Amino acid sequence: MHILLHKQYEHARLQSCNYSHLFRPKTRWEFVRLTMIIVSIQFTYAAETAFVSPILLSIGLPHTFMTMIWAISPTLGFFLAPLVASLSDQLRVSWGRRRPVLLVLSITLMLGLVILPHGRTIGLWFGDEDVSPQNMSGFRWGILITTLGLVMADFSVETTNGLSRTYFLDMCIKEDHPTVLTVAVMIGGIGGFIGYMLGAIDWTNTNLGEMMGSNEATVFGAVVIIVLIGTTTTLTSFREVPLGLLENDELLRPITKAAFEEEKRRQMNLTRVSSVMSMDSETAERAQVCPEECNQQPLNFKSFLTNLIRLPKALRILYFTQFLSHLGYLSYCLYFTDFVGREIFEGDALAHEGSQSMKLYHEGVRFGCLGMAIFVLSAAIYSMAIEKVIRLSSIRSVYIGGLLLNCIGMMLIAVYKSKLMVFICCITMGIEYATIYSLPFLLISQYHQKQSFNMIDGRCVQSTQTRGFGADISILSSMLFLAQIIISLSIGSVIDAYGSTTIVVYSASLFSCLAAFSATQIIYMDL
pLDDT in tens, 442-485: 888 888 777 776 766 667 667 666 677 777 887 887 788 788 88
**Contact between residue 105 and residue 81 where contact means Cβ atoms under 8 Å apart:** no
Q: Rg of the chain over CA atoms, in angstroms?
A: 24
Element (H, E) at 220: helix 215-235
pLDDT in tens, 63-99: 677 777 878 888 888 788 778 877 888 888 888 889 9
CATH (domain of 173) = 1.20.1250.20
pLDDT at 100: 93
In-domain check, residue 258: no
pLDDT in tens, 153-207: 989 998 898 889 889 988 888 888 888 888 988 888 888 888 888 877 878 778 8
Which segment, 111-115, 199-203, 310-314, 493-497, is predicted with the most confidence on average? 111-115
The answer, yes or no, to whether residue 40 has pLDDT greater than 60, is yes
The answer, yes or no, to whether residue 39 has pLDDT greater than 70, is yes
Cα–Cα distance between 484 and 377 in angstroms, integer? 23
In-domain check, residue 205: yes
Q: What is the pTM of this model?
A: 0.71
- Residue 84 makes CB contacts below 8 A (sequence gap 6+) with 101, 105, 159, 163, 474
pLDDT at 260: 44
In-domain check, residue 264: no
In-domain check, residue 160: yes
Higher pLDDT, 196 or 3: 196
Total count of domains within the chain: 1
pLDDT at 31: 93
The answer, yes or no, to whether residue 277 has pLDDT greater than 90, is no
CA contacts within 13 A on the Cβ side of 22: 23
In-domain check, residue 524: no
Cα–Cα distance between 349 and 52 in angstroms, integer? 13
The answer, yes or no, to whether residue 241 has pLDDT greater than 80, is yes
pLDDT at 63: 67
In-domain check, residue 254: no
Element (H, E) at 461: strand 459-462
In-domain check, residue 297: no
pLDDT at 431: 93
DSSP symbol at 342: I
Higher pLDDT, 338 or 105: 105
Mean pLDDT throughout 387-405?
Answer: 91
Full residue range of the structural domain in which residue 376 is found: 27-246+314-519
In-domain check, residue 251: no
pLDDT in tens, 339-394: 888 888 888 766 776 778 888 888 888 888 888 888 888 888 898 888 888 889 88
